[in-house]
Structure 1
Amino acid sequence: MSLNSACERTAFCFDMDGTITKAELLPCIASELGIADEIATLTNATMDGHIEFEPSFRLRCLLLGQIDPQVIRQVVAAVPLDENLLRFITDRKEDCFIVSGNLNIWIQPILQRCGCQAFTSVGEYVNGKLQLKSILNKARALRGIRENIGYERVVAVGDGANDAVMLDQADVGIAFGGVHAAAQAAIHASRYVIHDGSTLCNLLRTL
């Protein structure tokens, strides 16, 4: 570790789906409607950069918004997490941030386990119908962490094309292929490419 990096306040920013979690959440949720394969195909196409995140996410929310939100939270709570990353985050809650395009009201079980601050898309149920209030812009979230919270350095970890802008803006971008090979856009925007949680955490501790 360099003297400069040791003296600088560093924020560690993590994508959630396929990074902290060992599976993409929306296909898991879609299993409740029997459309897991269809949502997985749409999710993978988005992760690989073939479809833009926002219209893809709106479509997936439209489909999955039919499911009882309590059932969704139960499904999310059962999704396994990368224990190495979970331990890293819970040991450094004050300097770790989840930056996820997923909906705050769906991913509360994971946010509670991690215990750190999170930037997410926002939704609410009105008369039983899901309404999207905002879709997270990851680049804007990173700027807020740096400028408003006051971090000199930002380390970002992500695995998909929608993470590329966050990885590019970070001082250190890390493409993580915990579930599948990281998308090419994420790789091109990163300084490092890591494929397992233990190695990733070893690297993070040196930064």
Structure 2
Amino acid sequence: MSKTLYAFDLDSTITKAEILPYLAKELKQAEEMDLLTRQTLEGFIPFDVSLTKRFNILRHIPLKRVHELLSELPLDQEIVEFIRTHQTNSIVITGNIDVWLKPIIVKLGCPCLSSITCLKNNILELIDIMDKGKAISKLKNEWEKIIAIGDSTNDIPMFQLADMSIAYAGVHKINIEVAKQVDFIFDDSKELCAFLNQL
């Protein structure tokens, strides 16, 4: 059994913006996407319901274009550097869409667990939405200690099962429900990574 795994949320933890609203600008539907995303982050809409709605809006953007857009999405360089230095014991756990994330995951060089899609009649279909709690549960069989880093209500199942939970307010303020579930809160990625390096 390996020692410590760092489990990172993706959107607004590693990225400097929420991915789906960022993509929605391509379809000129950023306002609707922003609203759905905010309501989800604050826990007003269940993640699976929200993701399905948001995916259905965005799935018609050609994959090549999604990759072009996401290759330009700003990332938190302190966190990226931490993950690159700890590739063998870092993982990204995200509800986001598997085939869309390649440009980001390639930059990180670590494994990624995400929602799963498949192509049916040239249309992207969502077939399995990531359950972060189940993901952490399975990983606990392989790792002695799991440290979860995220920012929203969607990360609560991950926070509850991890050995240590950290909320990172790099983009969003941490809401009270998330704050109740975590051991530490950081709003500076340099301080966060310095803390992780001391563990």
Q: For the superposition of Structure 1 and Structure 2, which TM-score range results when normalised by the shorter chain?
A: over 0.9
Is 1:116 equivalent to 2:110 in the alignment?
yes
Within 1, Cα distance between the matches of 2:104 and 2:178? 23
Please list the CA deviations of residues 65-110 of structure 1 after superposition, one character each: whole Å capped at 9, or x if unmatched.
1211111111111101000000000001000000000011011111
Alpha-carbon offset, residue 187 of structure 1: 1.4
Partner of 1:19, secondary structure, is coil
Among residues 173, 177, 190, which one is paired with 1:185 in the alignment?
A: 177
Q: Aligned residues: percent identity?
A: 33
Within 2, Cα distance between the matches of 1:185 and 1:157? 15
Please list the CA deviations of residues 6-31 of structure 1 after superposition, one character each: whole Å capped at 9, or x if unmatched.
xx710000000000000000001000
Among residues 152, 157, 170, which one is paired with 1:160 in the alignment?
A: 152
Q: CA RMSD in A?
A: 1.0
TM-score if structure 2 supplies the norm length? 0.97
Q: Give 1:32-51 correspondences, 5 Å limit.
A: 32-51=26-45
How many residues in Structure 1 have an aligned counterpart in Structure 2?
A: 198
Within 2, Cα distance between the matches of 1:184 and 1:48? 9
Q: Give 1:90-109 correspondences, 5 Å limit.
A: 90-109=84-103
Residues 168 and 189, structure 1, Cα contact 8 Å, conserved in 2: yes
Among residues 11, 23, 27, which one is paired with 2:21 in the alignment?
A: 27
Alpha-carbon offset, residue 164 of structure 1: 0.8
Alpha-carbon offset, residue 183 of structure 1: 2.8
Residues 89 and 114, structure 1, Cα contact 8 Å, conserved in 2: yes
Moved over 3 A (4+): none
Within 2, Cα distance between the matches of 1:138 and 1:72? 24
TM-score if structure 1 supplies the norm length? 0.93
Q: 1:3 — aligned with what?
A: none
Alpha-carbon offset, residue 34 of structure 1: 0.2
Partner of 2:126, secondary structure, is strand
Among residues 158, 171, 176, which one is paired with 2:163 in the alignment?
A: 171
Residues 103 and 122, structure 1, Cα contact 8 Å, conserved in 2: yes
Aligned letter for 2:17? Answer: A
Partner of 2:61, secondary structure, is coil
Within 2, Cα distance between the matches of 1:49 and 1:43? 10
Within 2, Cα distance between the matches of 1:161 and 1:153? 22
Within 1, Cα distance between the matches of 2:51 and 2:149? 20
Aligned letter for 1:63? Answer: I
Alpha-carbon offset, residue 144 of structure 1: 1.4
Aligned letter for 2:186? Answer: I
Aligned letter for 1:43? Answer: T
